[in-house]
Structure 1
Amino acid sequence: MVESRLITGQLVELPKYRVRESIKAKHVSLKMTVQGGLEVIIPRGFDQSRIPEILHTKQSWIERTIGRLEAQRQQLSIDPCPPLPEQMILRAIDQTWEIDYQPTGFSRVTLTEKGKSRLILRGSTHNEDLCKALLQQWLAHKAYQRLVPWLWSVSQELELPFHKASIRGQKTLWASCSQQYNISLNYKLLFLPPALVRYVFVHELCHTIHLNHSPRFWALVQEKDPTYKAIDQELRRSSHYVPGWLEPSGIKE
């Protein structure tokens, strides 16, 4: 579905979109997915009447992305559910795990580690939902084991203390910091290169001082990581590191 808007004297067609206000956003960004269509992410308090003009300037990207997603949509109609993984590459901690599925007559699924590089799932392995849920639980546990101590180390290095850390599986955030200085990390960080993960830590630790994206916040980020601008841009393009069986594919502008 599209809607028409009069912009700079010309009637143009805009795709149907939804708006999401984010306290983390420092500027307007676009995201388009096969399942959800076009999403416009805006900073808190942004004048929504400016959105049509912004979409007009991004029309070429929107058209290209619609074409790319249409190809994905056709593929999904053939294979709507990404297959269970045979391997997981955890770049953040330099580990690669091979996964074996051993079907048995049991109605449940168990997961065991064999050595330092092999996972074995036994039981009702034809049930992909059970297998995925178990792998996600394993990833969350691995993230708590490896990412949380790393976060504490960076916290001490930068002299930016926080209260406590937890692991979640957020759909749209790599991490978050609450007003109580609690930091929540996404277990999907395990799939990112170490430099990107460390930058996420720095970003959230700076939120313990400034719980916003004000100029003072970014000045603190730059003080703690002078190369942050390039890494921040790389992080915005990093969703391809996360395997498709964990989340639906999407394209960010």
Structure 2
Amino acid sequence: MNPQSDFFIPEYTVRKSTRARYLRLRITQDATVEVVVPKRMSMKHVQPFVIQHIDWIEKHKSRQLQNKNLREALPEGKHLPETIHLRALDETWHVDFKASASSQCRIKRVNDHNIRITGSPDDHEKTLIKLQQWLKQRAKDTLPSRLKQLSEKIGLSFNKAIIRSQRTRWGSCSSHGTVSLNYKLIFLPPVLVDYLFIHELCHTRHMNHSRQYWALVKKHCPDYRSLDKQLANAGQFIPLWVTNSP
């Protein structure tokens, strides 16, 4: 969606969002520019917003194009990690790959800093699937208990927490008090994870983004505006091999 103009304006798409409170830019994995627009905001604000952020768009679009070319050009084996940094947990894992005649792929925890993967060295898809399963388990072992601690600290209770593989959301909260958390949160800095927790816990009181809701968020997280913007761009913390997992 790109109206005619006398000067260059990057091609972009528009997505209306009931959750958005302000205009937001997003560069997708295929380097498409997406403008997220609050549902009730007039479309007349979109193009001036894009023009105002042309430098930011070009910079981040170029970066995404480089990542896209890297994903397409490198041999598949290069996507497998030697080190895994889980910022939210303050953990760094070193990955040891051991070739095996077995058709099965297995992951074994060697110690608190090392894991060993055994299987066919050429079956990268199985390896990525197994690594994804391991990451989900790390998330299940850590994120719900951390959410519970924060819940008790700020006095906002929830029913249960589940770990999921959402593609477009870091988390959500149902009307029954079930908080869904994206397992990839373990790659994010702790401050962003805690903000996401507060964001979802506040939905146990307000299932909307009303003024009352944001007032409650601000009460427990005064710097929420800045953190909300950082969270919108937190995909940068996710390694390519995770993004490209089957």
User: After the TM superposition, which segments of 4 or more aligned residues of structure 1 sit over 4 Å from their partners?
Assistant: none
Structure 1, unaligned stretches of length 5 or more? Answer: 249-253
Number of the residue aligned with 2:207: 211
1:29-74 superposed Cα distances (whole Å, 9 cap, x missing partner):
1112351511122223333354233323323333333444444444
Work out whether 1:40 is the aligned partner of 2:29: no
CA distance in 2, matches of 1:105, 1:80: 22
Rounded Cα–Cα distance in structure 2 between residues aligned with 1:219 and 1:183:
20
1:163 counterpart residue number: 159
Residue 4 of structure 1 contacts residue 12 of structure 1 at CA under 8 Å; is this kept in 2? no
**Range with greater deviation from structure 2 (228-237 or 161-170):** 228-237
Task: Please name the residue that 1:245 is paired with.
Answer: 241
Match of 1:201 in 2: 197
Are 2:1 and 1:5 aligned?
Answer: no
For structure 2, which runs of at least 5 residues remain unmatched after alignment? Answer: none
Structural mapping, 1:4-153, within 5 Å = 4-6=3-5, 11-79=6-74, 81=76, 83-153=79-149
Other-structure match for 2:168 = 172
Alignment deviations for residues 211-234 of structure 1 (CA, whole Å, 9 cap, x no partner): 222222111011112233343344
Q: What TM-score does the superposition give when structure 1 sets the normalisation length?
A: 0.85
Higher strand share: 1
**TM-score relative to the length of structure 2:** 0.87
Change in 2 beyond 3 A, CA 1:49/1:127: farther
Query: Is the contact between residue 29 and residue 40 of structure 1 (CA under 8 Å) also seen in structure 2?
Result: yes
Q: C-alpha displacement at 1:119, in angstroms?
A: 1.3
State the aligned residue count: 243
Aligned Cα root-mean-square deviation (Å): 2.4
Provide the identity percentage: 35
Higher relative contact order (CA 8 A, sep 6+): 1
Which secondary structure state, in structure 2, belongs to the residue aligned with residue 15 of structure 1? coil
| C-alpha separation in 2, matches of 1:19 and 1:71 | 23
**Following the alignment from structure 1 to structure 2, what is the Cα–Cα distance between the partners of residues 55 and 227?**
25
Query: Is the helix fraction higher in 1 or 2?
Result: 2
Q: Are the counterparts in 1 of residues 31 and 65 from structure 2 also a CA contact under 8 Å?
A: no
